[in-house]
Structure 1
């Protein structure tokens, strides 16, 4: 079995302040531009990161600045893995129960993330996304 090449790895956190969160995500995206040259992939990653991190700030941590959102992101040879967790009580969301005709805002971000990723796992206050690089 060969060695898997790690092209990018990031682990960090941000307190639950929307202004700080905006800067936090932008800094990560700026770093990703050095290793990802596909503009469509960068757009997908931007949307995924925005949805997951901002959802954690608003819904998970209830914008309490003393609580943090944690991010782990790695790019391997053919896979991008993103894991976001917060200090909230967690979510119990069944993607198959979402009805777009109801025009609800709640859950729509996770539907977008699910559509942009190849695998999505939700475990209480942790969301993991896997995206394969073609």
Structure 2
């Protein structure tokens, strides 16, 4: 049996308004993902990518949207976030944690939590594989 679940939303670029949307999305994830570690990582990835889209991509312009697509199957969790910004080039090696500069730290965290991480212009995709020591029945509800 193949499990499949999708969440698709367009969110306005207002961090206060987005908080309620994120709580709803996280509640949906909590009803599907029973592994606390995976749930924590998914929430962190989601928060970082959406906040980056609002702050940096859309420059907090409320009329601009952040598009979110979450796909969960029995093999992977994929979080895709696209904003209306110009896009950027992500360099894994560029961020230096010793510099105390916060710019790029969120993406570095997401990159570290993800099994696959892609940035293409104004779209970011993070993928976590669910096959592993836990087995799918121990990860999803």
Q: Give the alignment's TM-score, normalised by structure 2.
A: 0.89
Q: 1:23 aligns with which of 16, 20, 26?
A: 20
Whole-Å separation in 1 of the counterparts to 2:64 and 2:96: 31
Shift of 1:34: 1.2
> What is the CA–CA distance in structure 2 between the aligned matches of 1:118 and 1:21, rounded to whole Å?
27
- Aligned-pair distance for 1:49? 0.3
Aligned partner (choices 103, 106, 110) of residue 109 of structure 1: 106
Distance 2:75 2:92 in 1: 26
**Alignment of structure 1 residues 1-134 onto 2, 5 Å:** 5-133=2-130, 134=132
Structure 1: gaps (5+ residues): none
SS state at 1:32 partner: helix
Q: Report how many residues are paired.
A: 131
Are the aligned partners of 1:6 and 1:74 in contact in 2 as well (CA < 8 Å)? no
TM-score by length of 1: 0.94
- Give SS of 1:37's match: coil
